[in-house]
Amino acid sequence: MADEKKDKKAAKSAAKKPAAKKEPKAKRAPAKKAAAKKDSKAKGKEKKAAGKKESKAKKEPAKKAAPKKAKKPAAPPVVKAKARYVRIAPRKARLIADQVRGMHIEQARALLEFSPRGAAHPIHKLINSAAANAENNHDLIGDEMRVSSITVDEGPTLRRFRPRAMGRATPINKRTSHIAVALTPVED
């Protein structure tokens, strides 16, 4: 009897369900979209191929008629050197950098050697380093260069505190600088 009941229930459930199971719309939509994408890609490739053939046909006469362009003269080589985290305030270093900018290297060295400013020493070392880079890396004469650009950017600040009266403390900012120099050969 139990088997007969199970068979009847199975028959009823089979009668209720349709023969072909329909998928929900959400599942059917990606299949349609994928087919549409494939069709659009194929059409796009055909258009691109046709466009390339037309553009090649248009460009060919223009190439033959266009005159050859003359090559631009090569820019003079630029030799660079950087000093980072220099323990001097950028505001003080910029005073010296402004004096040296655009000078011939020999004049800059003379000015920096006898300058009383503290920033003159690291900038002097940096210009000597850039001149050595010119000789060793670029096969140029280091004494025949000029300072084309020199920049002083602000580096990280070391924050310290100074004890003051009545238990107070005041901040001391020890500023650092990033100095960059670029040298170019002097035009004769």
Domain ranges of the chain: 90-185
**Choice between 83 and 45, residue whose per-residue pLDDT is larger:** 83
Quote the CA–CA distance of 108 and 99 in Å, as a whole number: 8
Which tens digits make up the pLDDT trace of 87-105? 999 999 999 999 999 999 9
| Residues in Cβ contact with 121 at an 8 Å cutoff, skipping those fewer than 6 apart | 112
**Most confident of the ranges 12-21, 55-64, 65-74, 104-113:** 104-113
Average pLDDT estimate for 116-143: 95
The per-residue b/e assignment along 3-22, b for 16 or more CB within 10 angstroms, e otherwise, is eeeeeeeeeeeeeeeeeeee
Contact 180, 98 (CB under 8 A): no
**Most confident of the ranges 11-25, 73-87, 103-117:** 103-117
pLDDT band at residue 3, thresholds of 50, 70 and 90? low
90-185, what's its fold? Ribosomal Protein L22; Chain A (3.90.470)
- List for the chain the helix, strand, coil content (%; round to 5): 55, 20, 25
Average pLDDT estimate for 16-26: 54
| Nearest CA among 103, 79, 99, 105 for reference residue 152 | 99
Helix pair 105-113, 90-100: axis angle to 10 deg: 130
| Nearest CA among 150, 149, 153 for reference residue 89 | 153
